[in-house]
Protein backbone atom coordinates (compact mmCIF):
# COMPACT_ATOMS: atom_id res chain seq x y z
CA UNK A 1 0.00 0.00 0.00
CA UNK A 2 1.41 3.38 -1.01
CA UNK A 3 1.55 6.59 0.99
CA UNK A 4 -1.47 8.17 -0.71
CA UNK A 5 -3.53 5.03 -0.11
CA UNK A 6 -2.65 5.09 3.59
CA UNK A 7 -3.45 8.82 3.63
CA UNK A 8 -6.93 8.10 2.21
CA UNK A 9 -7.49 5.36 4.80
CA UNK A 10 -6.39 7.74 7.57
CA UNK A 11 -8.71 10.49 6.27
CA UNK A 12 -11.73 8.17 6.26
CA UNK A 13 -10.85 6.79 9.72
CA UNK A 14 -10.37 10.30 11.15
CA UNK A 15 -13.70 11.43 9.65
CA UNK A 16 -15.45 8.53 11.40
CA UNK A 17 -13.56 9.34 14.62
CA UNK A 18 -14.65 13.00 14.49
CA UNK A 19 -18.27 11.92 13.92
CA UNK A 20 -18.01 9.69 17.01
CA UNK A 21 -16.30 12.38 19.08
CA UNK A 22 -18.91 15.04 18.27
CA UNK A 23 -21.44 13.21 20.43
CA UNK A 24 -19.14 13.24 23.47
CA UNK A 25 -19.84 15.99 25.97
CA UNK A 26 -17.08 17.92 27.75
CA UNK A 27 -14.57 20.68 27.24
CA UNK A 28 -12.10 18.38 25.49
CA UNK A 29 -14.50 17.54 22.69
CA UNK A 30 -14.13 20.79 20.62
CA UNK A 31 -10.34 20.68 20.93
CA UNK A 32 -10.28 17.03 19.88
CA UNK A 33 -12.64 17.61 16.93
CA UNK A 34 -10.49 20.49 15.65
CA UNK A 35 -7.23 18.62 16.29
CA UNK A 36 -8.59 15.79 14.13
CA UNK A 37 -9.58 18.35 11.45
CA UNK A 38 -6.06 19.83 11.54
CA UNK A 39 -4.52 16.35 11.22
CA UNK A 40 -6.77 15.65 8.20
CA UNK A 41 -5.96 18.98 6.54
CA UNK A 42 -2.21 18.43 7.01
CA UNK A 43 -2.58 14.90 5.59
CA UNK A 44 -4.18 16.40 2.44
CA UNK A 45 -1.39 18.98 2.22
CA UNK A 46 1.37 16.41 2.61
CA UNK A 47 0.11 13.44 0.60
CA UNK A 48 -2.39 14.74 -1.93
CA UNK A 49 -1.03 18.24 -2.57
CA UNK A 50 2.56 16.98 -2.16
CA UNK A 51 3.50 20.13 -0.28
CA UNK A 52 6.37 18.20 1.30
CA UNK A 53 8.24 18.73 -1.96
CA UNK A 54 7.83 22.51 -1.78
CA UNK A 55 10.25 24.79 0.09
CA UNK A 56 10.38 24.82 3.90
CA UNK A 57 8.77 28.27 3.92
CA UNK A 58 5.66 27.07 2.05
CA UNK A 59 5.36 23.96 4.21
CA UNK A 60 5.53 26.10 7.31
CA UNK A 61 3.08 28.72 5.98
CA UNK A 62 0.44 26.14 5.00
CA UNK A 63 0.82 24.20 8.26
CA UNK A 64 0.50 27.46 10.20
CA UNK A 65 -2.64 28.30 8.15
CA UNK A 66 -4.30 25.03 9.18
CA UNK A 67 -3.23 25.19 12.83
CA UNK A 68 -4.13 28.90 13.14
CA UNK A 69 -7.67 28.39 11.78
CA UNK A 70 -8.33 25.36 13.98
CA UNK A 71 -6.86 27.07 17.07
CA UNK A 72 -8.86 30.27 16.39
CA UNK A 73 -12.16 28.38 15.97
CA UNK A 74 -11.49 26.22 19.06
CA UNK A 75 -10.40 29.26 21.08
CA UNK A 76 -13.51 31.30 20.22
CA UNK A 77 -15.74 28.28 20.92
CA UNK A 78 -14.21 27.53 24.33
CA UNK A 79 -14.03 31.18 25.46
CA UNK A 80 -17.65 31.82 24.40
CA UNK A 81 -18.70 28.67 26.29
CA UNK A 82 -16.97 29.89 29.46
CA UNK A 83 -18.66 33.30 29.20
CA UNK A 84 -22.03 31.61 28.70
CA UNK A 85 -21.44 29.35 31.74
CA UNK A 86 -20.37 32.33 33.90
CA UNK A 87 -23.27 34.50 32.75
Partner 1 sequence: MTDAAVADTAEEIEEGWGPLDGLPGNPMMWILILGEMLVFAILLAGFSIARALHPAEFAASQAHLDPLLAGLATIALVTSGWLAARALHSVRRGGTGRPQLAAAMLIGSSFLVLKGIEYGREFASGIGIETDTFFTLYFLITGFHALHVVMGIIVLAIVAWRNNAENIETGTAFWHMVDLVWILIFPTLYLLR
| Alpha-carbon distance values, 52 to 36, 46, 84 (Å) | 20, 5, 42
Count CB neighbours of 33 within 10 A. 20
Interface with partner 1, residue 64, by CB under 8 A? no
Interface with partner 1, residue 28, by CB under 8 A? no
Write the interaction track for partner 1 spanning residues 2-21; mark x where CB under 8 A is met and - where it is not: x-xx-xx--xx--xx-xx-x
| Alpha-carbon distance values, 43 to 25, 57, 73, 78 (Å) | 27, 18, 20, 25
The contact set with partner 1 (CB under 8 A) reads: 2, 4-5, 7-8, 11-12, 15-16, 18-19, 21-22, 30, 33-34, 36-37, 40-41, 44-45, 47-51, 53-55, 57-58, 65-66, 68-70, 72-73, 76-77, 79-81, 83-84
Amino acid sequence: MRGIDLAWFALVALTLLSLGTSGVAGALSPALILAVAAAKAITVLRWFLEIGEASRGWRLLLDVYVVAICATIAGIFVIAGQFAAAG
